[in-house]
């Protein structure tokens, strides 16, 4: 980069700082100023910088209570993460307006979009499915966070609770495009006005910044600044590392307690079916972990995970040992995780055939896809094309749809009018009933998560 260019950038930055109308697209950030916002949390966050970037390191375990209040839980728990060295958070020291800002409604559904000043990553409030607002779905704890698939704790909201603990008027987080995120108010305590669609605006100092809001987008709703994206996420950001394969949602559970016993021993408590359950887990120095699951009857089952091999390796290998009143010989770890997904007899038909029914393979089953399957089922069976299936038609006909076998097997139940013929309405009624049962949040689609629900 030429010296002339640097000077030009600097001059533009000055012009804006002086309140000039000259539009600047580059903002030079002072690393000391960024460091100041992390300072109240420096017992758990390390910061450093070079001429281009500011880095923050943490293990992603905040000093506040975690997980309590979550009522839509995927059975993950927080474990420390290696967000340090070349796996640290990185902020550009020269933030630059993007030619076309990125919207968090369209992408950024994976990975962090910001880092809180206590070193916790912040993800898009909309989760991986590109649709679900984690806050409205009850997935977040009292601080707006939860543990992800690698048992990595992160926020999905702006950490406004840090505003009281941090210095007066300091940001509560930094977006990964380099712009600061303030709480609901301005640094001087006045209310934040005229926010753009990304929850940002340019302050009196000429610096662009974002704000927290109580409703979506809650924080930076994307990036006003330029960021390098890869596969729909910020390319350079810390990677979480799990110790076990990821777990599935546990319907009906509410997390009621979390305790850090010491740096490597934790206990999470939840209510399910009016009974108290808990998970006690401890981390071994070599990278392995032991999880003890205690069910509502006080029965304990233990899962031990071997240390991960090498950096960035997959989850550890699992070894199970029933302990105490544990159920030796049970194929599942703890008996609470719902039916074995590979046992078709124990899962609803529509879920078992989800992939076939999801004709466009986008991970959602829509009413349209279901009725298309009904139509092709009829097209295959209904030889005389009169819109009704006789027993001869469905028993001896050929139809290769997902519903074809179901219709043949369940003809008696489908035939509500008892006329020994199956009308399209009768088939649709049964199919729709199964659909409604699987569509737990009643949004008119059976999504991937619902298709995996126990």
State the DSSP H helix or E strand holding residue 99, giving kind and residue range, or none if neither. strand 94-103
Contact between 116 and Zn ion by CB under 5 A: the answer reads no
Please report how close the Cβ of residue 107 comes to Zn ion at its closest, in angstroms: 16
Say how far apart CA 415 and CA 428 lie, in whole Å.
11
| Identified binder of Zn ion from the candidate list 192, 207, 289, 402, rule CB under 5 A | 192
Question: What spatial distance separates the first Cα and last Cα of the chain, rounded to whole Å?
Answer: 56
Q: What is the DSSP letter of 185?
A: B
Q: By CB neighbour count within 10 A (0-12 exposed, 13-18 middle, 19+ buried), where does 401 fall?
A: buried
CB-based closest residue to Zn ion: 192
Tell me whether residue 241 or residue 347 sits nearer to Zn ion (CB atom): 241
Window contacting Zn ion (CB under 5 A); options: 22-30, 73-81, 142-150, 303-311: 142-150
Q: 255 vs 53, 67, 195, 259, 321, CA distance in Å?
A: 38, 7, 35, 12, 25
Window contacting Zn ion (CB under 5 A); options: 52-60, 143-151, 300-308, 355-363: 143-151
Please report how close the Cβ of residue 354 comes to Zn ion at its closest, in angstroms: 23
Tell me whether residue 47 or residue 192 sits nearer to Zn ion (CB atom): 192
Please report how close the Cβ of residue 123 comes to Zn ion at its closest, in angstroms: 5
Q: How many residues bind Zn ion (CB under 5 A)?
A: 3
Window contacting Zn ion (CB under 5 A); options: 189-197, 236-244, 265-273, 400-408: 189-197
- Structure-token pair, residue 163: 């505003």
How far from the centroid of its chain's Cα atoms is residue 452's Cα?
15
List the one residue out of 277, 279, 323, 270 whose CA is nearest residue 301.
323
Say how far apart CA 201 and CA 280 lie, in whole Å.
45
Please report how close the Cβ of residue 83 comes to Zn ion at its closest, in angstroms: 15
Tell me whether residue 81 or residue 301 sits nearer to Zn ion (CB atom): 81
Give the start-end residues of each E strand in 131-241. Answer: 145-147, 153-155, 173-175, 180-182, 200-202, 208-211, 222-225, 229-230, 233-234
Contact between 160 and Zn ion by CB under 5 A: the answer reads no
Window contacting Zn ion (CB under 5 A); options: 45-53, 160-168, 179-187, 379-387: 179-187
Contact between 148 and Zn ion by CB under 5 A: the answer reads yes
- Return the residue matching tokens 């924080």: 219
Tell me whether residue 175 or residue 357 sits nearer to Zn ion (CB atom): 175
Find the length of the chain. 454
Please report how close the Cβ of residue 182 comes to Zn ion at its closest, in angstroms: 6
Window contacting Zn ion (CB under 5 A); options: 38-46, 52-60, 185-193, 441-449: 185-193
Say how far apart CA 128 and CA 105 lie, in whole Å.
11
Please report how close the Cβ of residue 210 comes to Zn ion at its closest, in angstroms: 8
Tell me whether residue 186 or residue 375 sits nearer to Zn ion (CB atom): 186
- Cβ atoms of 148 and 194 within 8 Å: the answer is no
Say how far apart CA 71 and CA 327 lie, in whole Å.
27
Tell me whether residue 67 or residue 407 sits nearer to Zn ion (CB atom): 67
Contact between 242 and Zn ion by CB under 5 A: the answer reads no
Window contacting Zn ion (CB under 5 A); options: 146-154, 231-239, 347-355, 397-405: 146-154
Contact between 111 and Zn ion by CB under 5 A: the answer reads no
Tell me whether residue 176 or residue 192 sits nearer to Zn ion (CB atom): 192
Tell me whether residue 192 or residue 357 sits nearer to Zn ion (CB atom): 192
- Structure-token pair, residue 394: 């469905």
Say how far apart CA 331 and CA 381 lie, in whole Å.
40
Please report how close the Cβ of residue 140 comes to Zn ion at its closest, in angstroms: 8
Contact between 227 and Zn ion by CB under 5 A: the answer reads no
Contacts of 319 (CB under 8 A, 6+ apart): 303, 304, 305, 306
3-state secondary structure of 34: helix
Q: What's the CA dihedral at 335, 341, 343, 348 to 10 degrees?
A: 110
Tell me whether residue 237 or residue 301 sits nearer to Zn ion (CB atom): 237
Contacts with Zn ion in 45-84 (CB under 5 A)? none
Please report how close the Cβ of residue 366 comes to Zn ion at its closest, in angstroms: 25
Contacts of 326 (CB under 8 A, 6+ apart): 299, 300, 301, 302
Window contacting Zn ion (CB under 5 A); options: 89-97, 184-192, 384-392, 430-438: 184-192
Contacts with Zn ion in 6-45 (CB under 5 A)? none
Tell me whether residue 154 or residue 408 sits nearer to Zn ion (CB atom): 154
Window contacting Zn ion (CB under 5 A); options: 65-73, 178-186, 223-231, 321-329: 178-186
Tell me whether residue 192 or residue 351 sits nearer to Zn ion (CB atom): 192
Residues that bind Zn ion (CB under 5 A): 148, 186, 192
């Amino acid at each position: 980069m030429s010296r002339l260019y640097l000077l030009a950038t600097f001059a533009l930055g000055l012009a804006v700082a002086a309140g000039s109308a000259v539009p600047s697209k580059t903002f030079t950030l002072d690393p000391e100023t960024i460091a100041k916002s992390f300072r109240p949390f420096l017992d758990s966050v390390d910061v450093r910088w070079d001429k281009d970037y500011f880095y923050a390191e943490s293990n992603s375990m905040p000093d506040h209570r975690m997980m309590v209040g979550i009522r839509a839980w995927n059975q993950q728990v927080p474990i420390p993460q290696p967000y340090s060295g070349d796996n640290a958070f990185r902020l550009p020291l020269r933030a630059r307006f993007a030619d076309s800002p990125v919207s968090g409604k369209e992408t950024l559904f994976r990975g962090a979009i910001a880092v809180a000043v206590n070193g916790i990553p912040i993800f898009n409030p909309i989760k991986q499915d590109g649709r679900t607002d984690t806050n409205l779905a009850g997935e977040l704890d009292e601080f707006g966070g939860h543990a992800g698939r690698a048992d990595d704790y992160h926020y999905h909201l702006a950490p406004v609770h840090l505003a009281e603990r941090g210095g007066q008027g300091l940001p509560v987080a930094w977006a990964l495009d380099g712009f600061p995120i303030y709480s609901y108010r301005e640094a001087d305590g006045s209310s934040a006005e005229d926010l753009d669609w990304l929850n940002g605006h340019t302050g009196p100092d000429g610096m662009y910044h974002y704000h927290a809001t109580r409703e979506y987008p809650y924080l930076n709703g994307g990036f006003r600044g330029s960021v390098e994206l890869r596969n729909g996420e910020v390319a350079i950001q810390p990677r979480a590392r799990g110790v076990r394969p990821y777990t599935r949602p546990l319907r009906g559970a509410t997390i009621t307690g979390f305790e850090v016993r010491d740096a490597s021993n934790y206990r999470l408590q939840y209510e399910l079916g009016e009974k108290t359950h808990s998970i006690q887990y401890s981390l071994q120095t070599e990278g392995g972990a032991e999880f003890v699951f205690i069910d509502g009857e006080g029965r304990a089952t233990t899962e031990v995970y071997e240390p991960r091999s090498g950096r960035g390796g997959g989850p550890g290998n699992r070894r199970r040992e029933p302990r105490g009143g544990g159920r030796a010989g049970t194929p599942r770890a703890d008996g609470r995780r719902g039916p074995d997904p590979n046992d078709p007899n124990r899962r609803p038909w529509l879920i078992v055939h989800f992939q076939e029914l999801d004709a466009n393979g986008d991970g959602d089953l829509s009413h349209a896809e279901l009725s298309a399957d009904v139509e092709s089922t009829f097209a295959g069976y209904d030889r005389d094309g009169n819109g009704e299936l006789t027993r001869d038609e469905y028993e001896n006909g050929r139809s290769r749809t997902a519903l074809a076998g179901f219709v043949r097997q369940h003809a008696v139940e489908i035939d509500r009018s008892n006329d020994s013929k199956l009308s399209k309405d009768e088939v649709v009624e049964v199919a729709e009933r199964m659909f409604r049962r699987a569509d737990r949040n009643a949004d008119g689609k059976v999504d991937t998560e619902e298709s995996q629900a126990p």
